[in-house]
Amino acid sequence: MVDQQKRFRALMDITRRPPISFAGGQGDWLVDREGNRYLDFIQGWAVNALGHCPAALVSAISRQVATLINCSPAYFNESALALADRLIRHSCFDRVFFCNSGAEANEGAIKLARKWGALHRDGAYEIITFDHGFHGRTLATMSASGKPNWQELFEPKVPGFHKVTLNDLDTVRQACTPKTAAVMLEPIQGEAGVFPTTDIFMRELRTFTRRENLLLIVDEIQTGMGRTGRLFAYEHPDIEPDIMTLGKGMGGGVPLAALLCREEVACFEYGDQGGTFNGNSLMTAAGLAVIDEILKPGFLEQVNAQGLYLRQALETMAEKHGLGPVRGRGLLLAMDLNKPIGAEVTEKALERRLLLNSPRLDSLRFMPALNVSRDSIDRMIATLSAILAELS
């Protein structure tokens, strides 16, 4: 144990981590170095879209790693082309730029919007973003985020972001100036605690941004790739944004993200954008395996069915314990605890070898694999019910 503590100290202490080290995983389960099994309802924050070590991903990566890992972004490669083709065919976008993290994709979106503003809107560069929004941890994406406790961090911030209120078009209208180039938001604010935009608001926002000649950027890093029961969350309100970012689930666990835009918006010139590892064969082959699984007939129907099953189970439990409401869509759900007991609940869950996330003190967030089993949902609910009974 002492030995183990010493090993942990070699890593920068950037977040509170339990003294456990994971060594393996399969489906809904993680295994620590002592061989204990944990039921995983975090899945790397909605990253392991198909669970741990899914066969399709293992075989795609194994095949690709022995064929071509990287030929550099200076050249086209087969898996990047195939993945870009899939994304374009199944979205309203025409162009894709691959990168390595969500924050990097959002940095690209911000740059693209500024470039577009410089070219088409008389130098406009400001972007309207939302209170409690989360867009990443680089300087610009932290500046774009609306996390209250980030306000004083790493000053001075990157200028040009105006925060407004989710689902309130009047605040967007008021923040709009001749310098505004774009509006950027998450269809469901994930890190904030799973707060969805309404379909009506998204439609109004699309109408407003079109009329004002502003770009609409959707950050689908958490909501994209089937998480909400559609391939992309912007499909629910049936709108067509101008720019979209993807990350998290798209690589099924490997670092892969993307910036997508419509043809009219694709205004980067040579030298404006790039990155050493971007679009390498290995990561895009992983992404291709993931999207091909998600696009299989019946897959998204199953996400919706399991999402509904999980939601109903949470609602029944919430009612029994005087909790709720349950928020979210598909398999991105949260339940209000109505008391600041989130940390206690996740700690007790860990003791029972259940991994749960509490994005804020008064709620729990559920992000299981998109192919989570009914049995795993039942087990999670049984364990959580026991914990809530113990705490009340």
Distance, CA of 281 to CA of 144 (rounded, Å): 31
Among 248, 329, 348, 365, binds ligand PLP (CB under 6 A): 248
Amino acid at the residue 364: L
Q: What angle do CA 369, 98, 13 make, to 5 degrees?
A: 60
Residue nearest to ligand PLP (CB): 102
| Closer Cβ to ligand PLP, 190 or 229, answer by number | 190
Minimum CB–partner distance for residue 135 and ligand PLP (Å): 5
Minimum CB–partner distance for residue 16 and ligand PLP (Å): 18
Strand order in the sheet with 95-99: 95-99, 257-261, 243-246, 215-219, 180-185, 126-130, 161-164
Minimum CB–partner distance for residue 369 and ligand PLP (Å): 17
> The tokens 């050493």 sit on which residue?
276
Please choose, out of 32-40, 132-140, 282-290, 292-300, the segment that lies near ligand PLP by the rule CB under 6 A. Answer: 132-140
Among 114, 115, 135, 329, binds ligand PLP (CB under 6 A): 135
Site for ligand PLP in 19-78 (CB under 6 A): none
User: Please, what is the end-to-end C-alpha distance for the chain in angstroms?
Assistant: 34
Residues in the chain: 392
Among 28, 40, 107, 186, binds ligand PLP (CB under 6 A): 186
103 binds ligand PLP (CB under 6 A): yes
Distance, CA of 50 to CA of 183 (rounded, Å): 31
Q: Distances from the Cα of 102 to the Cαs of 98, 251, 285, in angstroms?
A: 10, 11, 18
Q: Which residues touch 253 (CB under 8 Å, ≥6 apart)? A: 44, 47, 48, 52, 57, 286
Distance, CA of 98 to CA of 284 (rounded, Å): 8
Minimum CB–partner distance for residue 91 and ligand PLP (Å): 17
222 binds ligand PLP (CB under 6 A): yes
Minimum CB–partner distance for residue 61 and ligand PLP (Å): 19
Please choose, out of 90-98, 133-141, 258-266, 345-353, the segment that lies near ligand PLP by the rule CB under 6 A. Answer: 133-141
| Closer Cβ to ligand PLP, 97 or 384, answer by number | 97
Q: With contacts defined by CB under 6 A, how many residues of the chain interact with ligand PLP? A: 15
Among 25, 54, 73, 102, binds ligand PLP (CB under 6 A): 102
* Count of alpha carbons within 13 angstroms of residue 156, beta-carbon side: 4
107 binds ligand PLP (CB under 6 A): no
Query: Which residues of this protein are in contact with ligand PLP, per CB under 6 A?
Result: 101-103, 106, 134-136, 186, 190-191, 219, 221-222, 247-248
